[in-house]
């Protein structure tokens, strides 16, 4: 089944962009990044910005991210995928990263998980970091994952 990603949440002040692969089915349905309650993204970001935004509505969460110089997008614009698992992504089409030209102070591209991490080479002129996936299935290394996500603070 062909799935289409979401528009980027970035602005001219963005310093760090977090790229996932492609939003899961729930996120695509709601047109909201990381809307699956089992994903720990918003908990991890709350630690990074030192403010609990987990219970806020989506629009306010995004405003808080942008206020803290963090943007969101994905590596893929389109993909065939059954379900929401990255392992099922096939025939993917990359996003048009020339759209990042509006971001004048970009310091870091974070790739959320191993699958997204395989595309770090696309950003030769920028520092990249592969973060442990925010997926709820990746909780076995919780403390290490938190530490790696907290390292984003060094770029804000």
Return the DSSP state at 9: B
Spatial CB neighbours of 92, under 8 Å, sequence gap ≥ 6: 22, 75, 76, 78, 79, 80
Can you tell me whether residue 46 is helix, strand or coil? Answer: helix
d(Cα 23, Cα 51) in Å, to the nearest integer?
Answer: 24
Is residue 6 within 8 Å of residue 22, measured between CB atoms?
A: no
Q: Determine which one of 9, 11, 39, 68 is catalytic.
A: 39
Q: Active-site residue 91, yes or no?
A: no
Q: Please say whether the beta carbons of 110 and 99 come within 8 A.
A: no
How many other CB atoms sit within 10 Å of the CB of residue 37? 10
Enumerate the active-site residues.
39
């Amino acid at each position: 089944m062909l799935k289409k990603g979401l528009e980027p949440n970035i602005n001219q002040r963005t310093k760090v962009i977090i790229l996932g692969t492609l939003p899961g089915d729930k996120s695509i349905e709601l047109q909201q990044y990381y809307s699956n309650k089992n994903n720990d993204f918003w908990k991890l970001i709350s630690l990074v910005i030192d403010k609990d935004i987990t219970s806020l509505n989506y629009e306010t969460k995004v405003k808080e991210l942008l206020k803290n110089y963090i943007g969101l997008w994905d590596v893929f614009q389109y993909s065939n995928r059954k379900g929401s698992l990255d392992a099922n992504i096939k025939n993917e089409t990359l996003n048009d990263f020339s759209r990042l030209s509006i971001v004048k102070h970009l310091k870091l591209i974070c790739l959320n998980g191993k699958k997204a991490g395989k595309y770090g080479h696309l950003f030769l002129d920028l520092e990249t970091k592969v973060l442990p996936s925010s997926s709820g299935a990746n909780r076995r290394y919780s403390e290490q994952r938190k530490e790696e996500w907290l390292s984003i603070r060094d770029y804000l």
